[in-house]
Chains A and B, each alone.
Chain A
Amino acid sequence: MTATPAMSPQPPAATTATFQLDGREVPFNEGQTIIQAALAAGRYIPHLCYHPEFKPHGSCKLCTVKVNGRPAASCTLPAQAGLVVESDTEELNGLRRTLVQMLFAEGNHFCPSCEKSGNCTLQALGYDLGVMTAGFRHFFPDRPVDASHPDILLDFNRCILCELCVRASCEVDGKCVFALSGRGQTKHLVVNAASGRLADTDADLADKAMEVCPVGVIIKKRVGFAQPIGQRRYDARPISAQALEDAPRPGAGSPGCAACEEGG
């Protein structure tokens, strides 16, 4: 167990508390994490498993920054006055590139045949970070597809285990359709039915959980390529610009979010 980072220089009295991100001050409210404050201030930190509407998770590690010289996940670390945070450095972007490469090598990510291509967060991060290859040896795991549900296809080949669907289903839908089982390389997504089939759960196309998958695991049936390639979410602008547009702003009617209200 280690002490929390030092709270050394107090900000000047009577102003909002701030921390430093890559040399510039970022204001924050009590209870905000580093990434929440940064995005609200229009400063991008790459992230994948973090989603403003759900409890921070801290598993993908894409949002790793250096806080007073020590690495930490910016999505789970509470902001504190006077912290010195580095994010946009060659070292940290190199780390993020490697993490993206690891995810591509671990699963079966065949973008040319994936309906999510162009709307995929993992892919968009790869583009923005300049990832040209997975580099590592591909695992080519043998993973199933669940097409049992009338409206929804689950293609586990692309799962990156970010638990966004798990969080959305429990926190928003109140259904807990998804959970994780196994560990290490056997870790995998399971659904809430004895049969293990999505059709036997109470999953519904209108659920929040069905729209949050950052990759192409949860796919709506019968709408394949309705939105042409080239006109998709990350075709117009890179994810670094898109994420700032999506970020909740102070007072801008951000969605109801336990994480934001309670600070995780």
Chain B
Amino acid sequence: MTIPEHFPEQVVEDALAAFSGRPENLLQMLIRIQAALGHVPVDVMARLAQALALPLARIRGVVGFYAFLSETPQGLYRVRFSDNITDRMQGGPALLEQMCRRLWLEPGHLSEDGLLTVDTTSCTGMCDQGPALLVNGLAIPRLDPARIDRISDLILARTPLADWPEALFQVDDNLRRRDRLLDHDLAPGDALRTALARGRTGDREAAANARSWREGMPGGQGPLATLEEIKHSNLRGRGGAGFTTGLKWEACRNAPGDARYVVCNADEGEPGTFKDRVLLASQADLLWEGMTVCAYVVGARQGFLYLRGEYLHLLQPLEASLARRRRAGLLGRDILGQAGFDFDITIHLGAGAYVCGEESALLESLEGKRGIPRNRPPYPVSHGYLQRPTVVNNVETFCAAALVARHGGDWYREAGTAKSSGTKLLSVAGDCSRPGIYEYPFGVTVAQVLADCGAEDAQAVQVSGPSGVCIGREGFGRRIAFEDLATAGAFTIFNSQRDMFLVARNYTRFFAHESCGFCTPCRVGTAMLKNIMDKIEAGHGTPYDLAEIEQLDRVLQTSAHCGLGHTACNPTLDTLKAFRPAYERRMTSLDFEPAFDLDGALAKARQMTGRDDAGAHLSLKDHP
């Protein structure tokens, strides 16, 4: 039964009205409908198609792209266990099994009574307090057998989610080390006031500002003076790529066009990363301040926060924080009394797609489409949201930009190294006694971080998640900085008891699951890589397979469409280099071996014929 008995008229009308009936808000409507109905029935899609003048097939394509949307019923409760390697190390799989046994169902299948589904999902960003799950999108961390029993009871009693004990949903910030970002003393509006004041005293070139007046942007010297400070600070993007923020803002400011956008990338999907979650929970005002400063500099009137669906629990607090700022005159029209300085921020939710963290895929998603990375050039600074000039920056980047706007570029450059100014937040998790958020000036050594977080027996650290690098002990002297170990923030620790092959295999599965499938090399290559790792895991690995991994790496590096494909082989290649015995001990043969169990391939025929004679079996090696 895929179609409800009565067409959910109200749900669809609400969704259309809430997002002003605009096709670029399709994804937001679908998320709302999914939450209300537990799935998006095809007749609802047909109605949306009509209302939005979109082909039904395209809407179906959007539903099919995002892991958190479904065309078929998923039950009253949708439970998703986070399947990151840290969740696994903390016992996630056993807890999933416990819940399935308790509730009598198979993972990935709707329970017979239609009550719930239990499945896995990619890292939910609770690595410092895992294992974790999502129930109808809301995070429950620190799972243990007692919590699983509790949750199962609530589900069996059909208790509405709103009545579940609040303590279950308590997410900790775990701020362990603060530096100039987490220790700031800014009150809401401080950075903006400084930026505006700079304009009144500055005496920079007026011509460029004349342009902004013409285009209805705030005038005065403020925007340019602030841009100069951002450039002077040498702030670089904190999402991983490290592009110079000031240059990005300047390019957007100078791009032709009448509308500009500021987009914050809070699609923190890299397994092992959770620092943006903590910033969003504890430093929302600093983020809004940074986005508003950016809007002031580039002349944008509209901003978006693209919040990953896994952080649904942050949506209400963030909306409340935006409302406070509107009341305080820090958002809306004539911000802080400056005529023409209009800017507001809308929050858009993601729906379970790691690739949307790639900035052009994020823009596609923001426009309500499948999150496929765009062809570049052109770049978002000139052709971003709705093909208009757009700045896309990470949460931490905007927070840092607010500090620069307040205290100036010189102040910011005091911290860090020559090419990496300022500080970096690290999401420390895995085998250590004090997981959480650590803010360090750039240049800190891996060894220092390990000592501070209480990782006594580390054999490896995955820096910047699976798309980053895995370093062994010989690399612990290396430094966190763009000059050495560039990172988006993940810092996942593995002690000497951990099997690094299984770590790489988990990451390989992650990439195959999250590949958008647009380009041949990534769509097919990540699946092949996963198959090879499964083959090695099953004890059928040979040197031929290792050669094939290297071949796939060459193809992906050379021809994949985006960073997901380029880096998909990294975890395997890094661990092959630093932890080769973890692979070798699984290899039984130097000769070629099939990927499948030959004798197992006869099992069905044996069962059907009732035979069990010698001829009904195949030995592992030679013919009898």
Contact in complex: B57, A102 (CB < 8 Å):
no
Q: Given known contacts A76-B375, A178-B57, is B370 in contact with A185 (CB within 8 Å)?
A: no
Q: Known: A139-B527, A181-B63, A185-B512. Contact between A60 and B57, CB under 8 A?
A: no
Are the CB atoms of B520 and A103 closer together than 8 Å? yes
Contact B64 A182 (CB under 8 A): yes
Residues from chain A with a CB closer than 8 A to the CB of B555 are 95, 98-99, 102
On whether A185 and B57 interact (CB within 8 A), knowing A64-B558, A180-B370, the answer reads no
A75 closest partner in B (C-beta): B375
Residue in B370, B375, B517, B559 whose beta carbon sits within 8 Å of that of A56 in the complex: B375
B243→A180 contact, CB < 8 A = no
Q: Which residues from chain A contact B381 at a C-beta distance below 8 Å?
A: 1
User: Is B61 located at the chain interface by the 8 A CB criterion?
Assistant: yes
A60 touches B520 (CB 8 A): yes
A184's contact among B45, B248, B523, by CB below 8 Å, is which? B523
From residue 171 to 193 of chain A, which have CB atoms closer than 8 A to chain B? 176-187, 190-193
Q: Looking across the interface, which residue of chain B has its beta carbon closest to that of A71?
A: B558
Residues on B with beta carbons closer than 8 Å to the beta carbon of A60: 519-520
B-side contacts of A178, CB under 8 Å: 57
State which of A56, A59, A62, A192 has its C-beta within 8 Å of the C-beta of B57: A192
Q: Which residues of A contact B554 (CB under 8 A)?
A: 95
Min distance, Cβ B66 to any Cβ of chain A, angstroms: 8
Contacts of B229 in A (CB 8 A): none
Tell me if A136 is interfacial: C-beta within 8 Å of chain B. yes
- By the criterion CB–CB under 8 Å, are B375 and A58 in contact? yes
Would you call A222 an interface residue if the criterion is a C-beta within 8 Å of the partner chain's C-beta atoms?
Answer: no
B26 to chain A, nearest CB (A): 13
User: A209 to B355, alpha carbons, bound, how many Å?
Assistant: 29
Given A102-B524, A192-B56, also A183-B65 (CB < 8 A): yes
Size of interface on B: residues with Cβ below 8 Å to A: 52
If over half of B's interface residues share one DSSP class (helix, strand or loop), that class is named, otherwise mixed; here it is: helix
| B267 at interface by CB-CB < 8 Å | no
A254–B500 Cα gap in the complex (Å)? Answer: 57
* Interface residue? B528 (CB, 8 A): yes
Q: Distance in Å from the Cβ of B476 to the closest Cβ of chain A?
A: 30
Does B375 contact A73, Cβ atoms closer than 8 Å?
A: yes
A183 touches B375 (CB 8 A): no
CB-based contact A58/B561 at 8 Å? yes
Pair B521/A99 contact, Cβ less than 8 Å: yes
Closest-by-CB residue of A relative to B525 is A102
* A105, B524: Cβ atoms closer than 8 Å: yes
**Using Cβ atoms and an 8 Å threshold, which residues of chain B touch A187?**
516-517, 523
> A121 CB to closest chain B CB, in angstroms?
14
Instruction: Tell me whether A99 and B55 are in contact in the complex, defined as CB-CB below 8 angstroms, given that A179-B61, A184-B514 are known contacts.
Output: no
With contacts A183-B517, A190-B64 known, is A1 near B379, CB below 8 A?
A: yes
A179 with B248, Cβ < 8 A, contacts A102-B524, A136-B528, A161-B523 known? no
How many Å from the CB of B456 to the closest CB on chain A? 39
Interface residue? B117 (CB, 8 A): no
Question: How far, in angstroms, from A64 to B524 measured CA to CA in the complex?
Answer: 17
Q: Is B42 an interface residue (CB 8 A)?
A: yes
Residues of chain A within 8 A of B56, CB atoms compared: 192-194
444-500 of chain B: CB within 8 A of chain A: none
A78 at the interface (CB under 8 A from B): yes
Contact check, A99 vs B517: say whether CB atoms are below 8 A apart.
no
Query: In the complex, A139→B530 CA distance in Å?
Result: 12
| Interface bits B46-58 vs A (CB < 8 Å: 1, else 0) | 1000000001111
Return A189 CB to nearest CB of chain B, in Å: 9
Most buried by A among B375, B526, B595: B375
A136 to B525, CA, bound (A): 10
- Within A131-178, the residues touching B (CB, 8 Å) are 136-137, 139, 160-161, 170, 176-178
A106 at the interface (CB under 8 A from B): yes
Contacts of A176 in B (CB 8 A): 55, 57-58
Contacts of B43 in A (CB 8 A): 194
Asked if A61 is at the interface of the complex by the 8 Å CB criterion, the answer is: yes
> Is A113 at the interface (CB under 8 A from chain B)?
no
In the complex, A4 has a CB within 8 A of chain B? yes
Complex: how many Å from CA A134 to CA B469? 31
> Interface size on A (CB < 8 Å)?
44
- How far apart sit A194 and B46, CA to CA, in the bound complex (Å)? 7
Residues in chain B near residue A99, CB distance under 8 A: 520-521, 555, 559
A59 & B531 in contact (Cβ 8 Å cutoff): no
A34 to B524: give the CA distance in the assembly, Å. 26
Kindly report which residue of chain B lies nearest to residue A55, judged by CB atoms: B375
Residues of A near B359 (CB, < 8 A) are 1
Complex CA distance for A62 and B519, rounded to whole angstroms: 10
* Cα–Cα distance between A106 and B370 once the two chains are bound (Å): 22
> In the complex, what's the smallest C-beta–C-beta distance from B11 to chain A, in angstroms?
18
Query: Knowing A1-B243, A56-B375 touch, does A184 contact B526 (C-beta < 8 A)?
Result: yes
B524's contact among A56, A78, A106, A177, by CB below 8 Å, is which?
Answer: A106
- Nearest-neighbor residue (CB-CB) of B557 within chain A: A71
Q: Choose among B57, B512, B517, B519 the residue that contacts A190 (Cβ–Cβ < 8 A).
A: B57
Cβ–Cβ contact B517 & A184, under 8 A: yes
At the interface, yes or no: B241 with Cβ under 8 Å from chain A? yes
Is the beta-carbon distance between B375 and A137 smaller than 8 angstroms?
A: no
**Cα(A78)–Cα(B379), bound, Å:** 13
Q: Mark B155-181, 1 if CB is under 8 A from A, else 0.
A: 000000000000000000000000000
| B559 pairs with A59, CB closer than 8 A | no
Closest A residue, CB atoms, query B530:
A185
Asked if residues A180 and B61 are in contact (CB atoms below 8 Å), the reply is yes
Give, as a whole number of angstroms, the nearest-CB distance from B82 to chain A.
19
In the complex, the chain B residue whose C-beta lies closest to that of A63 is B559
| Closest Cβ–Cβ distance, residue A141 to chain B (whole Å) | 10
Contact B46 A161 (CB under 8 A): no
Q: Which residues of B contact A (CB under 8 A)?
A: 42-43, 45-46, 55-58, 60-61, 63-65, 241, 243, 248, 353, 355, 359, 370, 375-377, 379-381, 512-521, 523-528, 531, 548, 551, 554-555, 558-561, 595
Given contacts A105-B524, A178-B57, A185-B515, 6 further A-B contacts (CB under 8 A): A1-B248, A1-B379, A1-B381, A99-B521, A181-B57, A182-B64
Q: What 6 A-B pairs are tightest by C-beta distance, nearest first? A: A181-B64, A187-B517, A179-B57, A176-B55, A192-B57, A102-B524
Question: A residues within 8 Å of B by Cβ?
Answer: 1, 4, 56, 58-62, 64, 71, 73, 76, 78, 95, 98-99, 102-103, 105-106, 136-137, 139, 160-161, 170, 176-187, 190-194, 264
Q: List 9 A-B contacts (CB under 8 A).
A: A1-B243, A1-B359, A61-B519, A105-B524, A136-B548, A177-B57, A179-B60, A193-B56, A194-B46
